[in-house]
Structure 1
Amino acid sequence: MENATRFTDPGYGLWPFTAEILVRCPACEGLATVTKAPDSENGRTRRLTCTGCGHNTSWTAPTLPGGNSWSIPGARGPYDPYFHRPVWLRAGCCGGHSLWAYNVAHLDLLDRFIGAELRERGQWASCGEWTLIEALPLWMKAAKNRDELVRTIRRLRATLPG
């Protein structure tokens, strides 16, 4: 197994991938991005901007009682946590499951993990919260689904501009 591709879990959670989320525009269903608003105080405001129709809107985190902090939504599924728009990088595969990623960096991580023949846990394993890789569903970890998952990732990459 000398030439096997190797992947070591870098220990990321899902949250770092929310800096830029590719979503479907609510106005035209084209590609839009959700990013921190340039004038945002501590990342509290996010902006959805469509590259096709120019639609844009903002979301600001609600202030918690007491006024000193604000509520951060949970990043969980194939929708952005701010505007609840479906992510752009989403496709069905492996018998009715859905493969999704927030952005290209997230898709790259999944691609490296799924394509690897040797998968290692890394130093972050069992340090409290699960890493994104540890939290993946079993169908994404199964070697029998590797080929279909790799094909699905290629299809998702083909939907990106440029």
Structure 2
Amino acid sequence: MDRPRFQDPQVSLYELAADDILVVCPRCGGRAVNAARPTGSRWVASWPRRLTCAACGYAAAWEPAGATSVWGGPVDPFFGGPLWLRAECCGGRVLWAFNRRHLDILGGFVGAKLRERGPGPGGLTLVARLPAWMTAAKHRAEILRAVDRLRATLEN
């Protein structure tokens, strides 16, 4: 569904990771949650994390000391497993999101006919860094169908 207007909410991928990240459980393949455990630091990538699966009871911890995080693909940047919200579309490309908020931003941006930058300086926001295939009007319908399929997985 086309939306008339979208304004960049001025959030980065790192800010979205402050919320829960939905991942595929490494034990049972169900939906697991990678939750941040905030510390005094504002740098989200340095917060300890806890991965838990309600279906099978799997649990793991990630501590920033001595560990690295890898950002920018359809994998959990902390534990390295696949994200729950990922779908192939647009000729083999992968649409992915950390959580519902991330998915809503992508859906809002892609579905809008008018896309506005936020009031602050751009460049480092999630929306400003989207790949060209996601910003192309010719992919709008296919991406929105993929977003709807991913939203449906959140209802279960």
| TM-score where L is the length of structure 1 | 0.84
Seq. identity, %:
47
Structure 1: stretches of 5+ with no match in the other structure: 64-70
1:148 alignment partner in structure 2:
142
CA deviation map 1:35-60 (0-9, x unaligned)? 024xx654732100012111001111
The equivalences for 1:6-155 within 5 A come to 6-19=5-18, 20-37=20-37, 41-42=39-40, 44-62=47-65, 73-126=69-122, 129-155=123-149
**How many aligned positions are there?**
149
**Post-superposition offset of 1:4:** 6.1
Any gaps of 5 or more consecutive residues in structure 2?
Answer: 41-45
Q: Is the 8 A contact 2:70 2:77 kept in 1?
A: yes
TM-score normalised per structure 2: 0.87
Q: 1:44 to 1:13 in 2, by over 3 A?
A: closer
1:103 & 1:18 partners in 2: Cα distance?
9
Q: 1:4 to 1:44 in 2, by over 3 A?
A: closer
Q: CA RMSD in A?
A: 2.0
Q: Which has the larger radius of gyration?
A: 1
